[in-house]
Amino acid sequence: MPDPLTVASGICAAGALVTTWQLRSRALRAEAEIRHLQAELTAERHAANHDPLTGLPNRRGFYRIAATLLTDAAGQPLIAVVLDLDDFKQINDRYGHAAGDQVLISVAQRLAAFAGDNLVARLGGDEFAGLLTSPTVDRRWIEHATRRLCESLAAPIPLGGLSVRVTASVGLAPVTGPAQLTEALDRADAAMYRAKSLGSADSPRQLVDTAHLAEC
């Protein structure tokens, strides 16, 4: 006949194993739930700061990242850029909104390629912005860089069996410090609208805020 103490000890040991297994299972489920919540939070943060169409930072993300870049710039010249496509509504009206979306995606890709590691964003609609490092605030260098950007954007964009060309009005302004980002963007935006009023389909529309640029 089994010893009652041995039976009791076996039951206790089995119970302890079951309890340990249950606790381990609960811990694993809790860890999985935490990972799931963290992934959801990361996705929500990304969505809150990025444009769903182009993948670029949105207006909120642009200001958040720009604030960090300006704090860490260590005196390196930074240029605020505002860019707006010319007559973009005609693309939507003529080819449809799907074609318009493809144009925006292509423009975003070209802008990002031009900017390299610099910050670029889609502020909304057909308006984009950037915060670019510059070796100098020399007027000629900046105007040359702007022409290259306009030429890149003006290359044909394939849309199924056809292609379209777009031009952009561009405004630039130097950023003189972390607290001056909004002011610099306002100057760049004003320069962009002046460029739009002065430009034509046959010439790049670009205007630099000259008040803060070197004349060399």
Please state the φ and ψ torsions of residue 56, each to the nearest 5 degrees.
-75, 160
Which residues, listed in sequence order, are joined to residue 206 by a DSSP beta bridge?
170
Which residues, other chains included, contact 213 with Cβ-Cβ below 8 Å and sequence gap of 6+? 137, 138, 139, 142, 174
Number of C-alpha atoms within 13 angstroms, CB side, residue 6? 3
Please say whether the dihedral angle defined by the alpha carbons of residues 70, 71, 72 and 74, taken in this order, is positive or negative: positive
User: CB of 166 within 8 A of CB of 205?
Assistant: no
Which residues, other chains included, contact 193 with Cβ-Cβ below 8 Å and sequence gap of 6+? 169, 171
Out of 84, 86, 93, 126, the active site residue is 126
Identify whether 126 is a catalytic site residue.
yes
The residues carrying an active-site annotation are 126
